[in-house]
Amino acid sequence: MIKRKWLLVFCLFVVLMSQGLAQSGSEEVPLYKEAKAPIDLRVEDLLSRMTLDEKIGQMTQAERGSIQPKEVATFFIGSVLSGGGSSPQPNTPQSWAKMYDNYQQAALNTRLGIPIIYGTDAVHGHNNLKGATIFPHNIGLGAARDPELLRRIGEITALETAATGVDWTFSPCVAVARDERWGRTYESFGETPELQRLLVGPYIKGLQGPNGEMKGRYVVATAKHYLGDGGTNWGTGDGGFWIDRGDVTVSEEELRAIHLPGYVEAVKAGVGSVMVSFNSYQGLKMHEHKYLITDVLKKELGFNGIVVTDWEGIKEIDAPDYYSKVVRAVNAGIDMFMEPNKWRSFILTLKEAVLNGDVSEERINDAVRRILRIKFQAGLFEAPYTDRALLAEGVIGCAAHRMVAREAVRKSLVLLKNEDNLLPLAKTARIYIDGSNADDIGNQCGGWTITWQGASGRITNGTTIRAGIESAIKGQGRIVSDLNAAEVAVVVVGEKPYAEGVGDNNKLTLAWQDLQVLEKVKAAGKPVVVIIVSGRPLMITEYLKDWDAVVAAWLPGTEGQGIADVLFGDYNFSGKLPVTWPKSLDQLPINYGDEDYDPLFAYGYGLTMDLEK
């Protein structure tokens, strides 16, 4: 506290000196606009010039659909975001850049000219943008267990995002998924903290730059959702569902051992922001949990970036009115408030709370200081507009980026069964292909793709699994429509897209249409390769004996060719299960290290093929 006081005195001295020196010139240049000045001095100088209204504006994040550029200027808004599926029309890189620049121009036209920071959920590529490269969801990357690959994926995601002007991604999700019924299982790298320790740091450095640049070709990253979102108890969410809004009841020792390590790695990697989770910990909502936000994250771990709410996150707080929710959340240590549609109410309420003395100006200054620091680090004061040179490079969805995504697909695949060495398939084979996910780019991308929930069908550009197989055997084997004429059947089953609580599922069964196809193949007596495209393990125990080969492909994204690369032996399987595959629903939740651990396939399981056959 004493050190900070002396720093402020020193900063004030520097400010006064700079102002005095400027008087001899024709026009004062504020210290905060001096690009070469130390960031801490620039922050303190700007903070000293701000009114309460300007400070509260910086703490406010509005959704693009509910705010006009002129309102950004009127209310001194600090951030705008695109929610899941919220994009300008037409959904092109040029439209994104134009939209971003319009908001930014409004912000720069204010008295102090503080730029906005624009956020989006680029969680497996710049996934709101049609035509962007879509990578496997995190569960597949957890199966790949390749830190260097994660770094490259982060770099590409950052580049395609930055090329549209966007500065901030709400990723990576560092949750530890402890229950496959959770609709966000696929957003997690897996069920043990070892995967977070391995992958979180490289991913963040890929997004933000090796030295934490956060500018140019890089963006600000977000570790989410703090804390324990993968460990909520089934049945404690809204009406038994939306379990990520439920309660985490483990001891603090277990919370720290399982759910905190990802954030330790994120802070070490210099992550710019941390997003708070919807869930409670031992009955207290995270959005008001001062001990875990201020004492643990900010003080103990030394996090000095922005703590941001999740979408309308303070609504989760059990308080009698909106005023109380705002007060509790700000005093708990949250810095920026994602109040997408209620941002005006938030501004008025927080100002009232400060004037009433329920929120101190010291707490407001701490929040704004953190926000400004990240904006300076991200170079927004020097280069606030979209870098059109990046767009001119044609980086979005380019062939080089898609090749990395294809590599990620190959490395994410887990071979669960390979009876009589059916795999690899011969490229000369006659192949029958069927199943709900065989030829559907939307299904293989999953949720958080173009729209929040994702959708089936041709929602963006890419290669389906069927198209990948067709390309691999072209001129040698062929796809046949008559099952009786086939030498082997490839049936691609699994889930349709979903996101968040909409995907909470306590049955995890295969679709009846897929079961019908599998029954038809069985009746024909054909050897069958089953590829499961899903965000989590599904219940397959009773069918497994009828399947000759089984591949867990997770949600591979746009580059289905990566699956064909491995099926035909150009590459071997290398993925290992990032989550336990249960035998039955009665075992859920089941995790590696449980006392009565008896899974269908254990965490870390994964076969390879005999490529010499």
* Model pLDDT for residues 294-315, shown as the tens digit of each residue: 999 999 999 999 999 999 999 9
426 and 376 both lie in a single domain: no
Of 325, 359, 392, the residue that ends a domain is: 392
The reply to whether 39 falls in a domain is no
DSSP per position, 255-279: IIIIISHHHHHHHHTT-SEEEEPSS
244 and 150 both lie in a single domain: yes
pLDDT in the model for residue 27: 64
339 and 435 both lie in a single domain: no
Q: Edge to edge, what strands does the sheet with 79-82 contain?
A: 168-169, 117-120, 79-82, 60-63, 337-338
485 and 385 both lie in a single domain: no
The reply to whether 34 falls in a domain is no
Rg of the chain (C-alpha set): 25
Residue 176 has pLDDT above 70, yes or no: yes
427 and 497 both lie in a single domain: yes
Of 336, 360, 392, the residue that ends a domain is: 392
252 and 316 both lie in a single domain: yes
Give whole-number Cα distances, 507 to 22, 181, 518, 586, in Å. 70, 8, 19, 10
CATH number of the structural domain spanning residue 371 = 3.20.20.300
pLDDT in the model for residue 588: 96
Which of 380, 503, 509, 507 shows the shortest CA–CA distance to 452?
A: 503
374 and 423 both lie in a single domain: no
DSSP per position, 515-583: HHHHHHHHHHT--EEEEEE-SS----TTTGGG-SEEEE----TTBTHHHHHHHTTSS------SS-B-S
303 and 438 both lie in a single domain: no
178 and 289 both lie in a single domain: yes
The reply to whether 612 falls in a domain is no
How many residues are listed for the chain in this entry? 613
315 and 429 both lie in a single domain: no
The reply to whether 11 falls in a domain is no
Average pLDDT, the chain: 95
Q: Calculate mean pLDDT across residues 125-154.
A: 98
* φ and ψ at residue 463, rounded to 5 degrees: -115, 120
* SS3 per residue for 437-461: CCCCHHHHHCCCECECCCCCCCCCC
Q: Calculate mean pLDDT across residues 507-515.
A: 97
State what percent of residues in the chain have pLDDT above 90: 93
317 and 460 both lie in a single domain: no
Residue with tokens 């697909």: 409
pLDDT band at residue 153 under the 50/70/90 scheme: very high
The reply to whether 449 falls in a domain is yes
Of the CA atoms within 13 Å of residue 208, those in its CB half-sphere come to: 27
For the record, the structure tokens of 95 come out as 């439209």
Active-site residues: which are they? 310, 500
* Structure-model confidence comparison of residues 116 and 10, the more confident one: 116
The reply to whether 19 falls in a domain is no
Please write the tens of the pLDDT for every residue from 214-259.
999 999 999 999 999 999 998 766 544 578 899 999 999 999 999 9
Structural domain boundaries, residue 217: 50-392
CATH number of the structural domain spanning residue 425 = 3.40.50.1700
Contact 128, 87 (CB under 8 A): yes
d(C-alpha 510, C-alpha 507), whole Å: 9
The reply to whether 172 falls in a domain is yes
- For residue 24, the one-letter residue type is S
State what percent of residues in the chain have pLDDT above 70: 94
pLDDT in the model for residue 23: 40
239 and 346 both lie in a single domain: yes
The reply to whether 593 falls in a domain is no
pLDDT in the model for residue 8: 47
Domain tally, the chain: 2
Is the preceding peptide bond at 93 cis, omega within 30 degrees of 0?
no
Task: Identify the three-state secondary structure at position 601.
Answer: strand
